[in-house]
Amino acid sequence: MKIIADSGSTKTDWLCLLSNGCRLPIVSEGLSPVHQPRETLLRVLGDVRSKAMAALPDSEQLSEVYFYGSGVAGIYRNVMLGCLADVFPEAIVSAESDMLGAARALFGNEAGVAVILGTGSNSALYDGQRIVGGTPALGYILGDEGSGAVLGKQLVGDLYKGSLPVALRSIFEEETGLTMTDIIERVYRQPLANRFLASLVPFIHHHKAEWPQLSEMVTNSFRQFLVRNLQPYGPQGRRFAAVGSVAFFFAAELHQAATAEGLTLAGIERSPITLLAAYHSGR
């Protein structure tokens, strides 16, 4: 059995590939060696192992684990590799960035510019094997344009600073049960503010048809992402493909932003996990 994992800031998609062709999907919380202590990583990985091994026939063994995740680079890659090796000692383990996972899912062994638009945002220049160039994402405070966290942050700011109608603010507070005081508490005094802000994105999606200002806000944020993150690639950045829930649910706005910036959007995938399974199965 092989296990493939694609981990973002909010959740991790796991896919167990059995030799008989069966597939077992597992979902866990997002894993980041940058933001979470080793104990948390080991706990979540242990839960995943228990679920995966429960589905493993007696005649089959776990052979490989491929993990792609946010922040898996440098010393943090070594942290993740160590945790994987501790939890899956019988398997060959690999830990790579979610950016490489997105590129392999979108382009396989072909070159291209891969984009992630989910809780966070990122991009990379891929040569068909490895990442050979990238623009720093810088996180939702300094960067992450077009991401769920930044869209949530902009929504809140526009609602309470008066850039969006008061009527929409009333709808927001009624549907979410949140007040400005609650939001400040969640963002400044509780952990994982990026996840909280990204959790507000479904409100934008649900109401964008009746409130076109929301759709315009998303398109403008995508345009800012494309200008700040893809222009540095020069001519190679004129064509790109994207993964992530934000890209998927706001596909119309992403196409509009790409057209406005003279770029070509080659494709959108909600999640790379199925394509990564095919990549690691040689298909």
Run of H or E residues at 81: helix 74-87
pLDDT score for 283: 59
- Tell me the per-residue pLDDT of 262-275, one tens digit each, with 9 for 90 and over: 999 999 999 899 89
Lookup result for tokens 């929409």: 168
**What is the CATH number for 76?**
3.30.420.40
pLDDT reported for residue 252: 96
In a domain, 196, yes or no: no
In 3D space, the residue among 40, 257, 248, 48 whose CA is nearest the CA of residue 148 turns out to be: 248
Model pLDDT, residue 250: 98
- Does the structure show a pLDDT above 80 at 58? no
Alpha helices by DSSP H, 88-126: 98-107
Torsion 169-206-243-47 (CA) sign: positive
Name the more confident of 259 and 282. Answer: 259
Asked, for residue 178, whether it belongs to a domain, the answer is no
Residues 191-222 have pLDDT tens digits of 889 889 999 999 999 999 999 999 999 999 99
98 in a structural domain = yes
Lowest mean pLDDT among 52-66, 76-90, 139-153, 227-241: 52-66
Per-residue model confidence (pLDDT) at position 11 = 85
The total number of structural domains in the chain stands at 1
- Dig out the tokens for 108 from the structure: 């396989």
Residue 141 pLDDT exceeds 90: no
Whether 62 maps to a domain, the answer reads yes
CA distances to 35, 100, 272 from 103, in Å: 23, 5, 9
257 in a structural domain: no
Res 248: pLDDT: 96
Q: Is 208 inside any structural domain?
A: no
Contact partners, residue 245, CB within 8 Å, separation at least 6: 118, 148, 270, 271
pLDDT value, residue 276: 92
Total-model pTM? 0.84
Residue 159 tokens, joined: 């609602």
* 15-38 per-position pLDDT tens digit: 999 877 788 899 998 898 888 889
Identify whether 66 is part of a domain. Answer: yes
Range of the domain at 76: 2-102
Q: Supply the pLDDT for residue 61.
A: 86
Spatial distance between the Cα atoms of 103 and 42, rounded to a whole number of angstroms: 27
Residue 255's pLDDT band (cuts 50, 70, 90)? very high
Is residue 47 assigned to a domain? yes
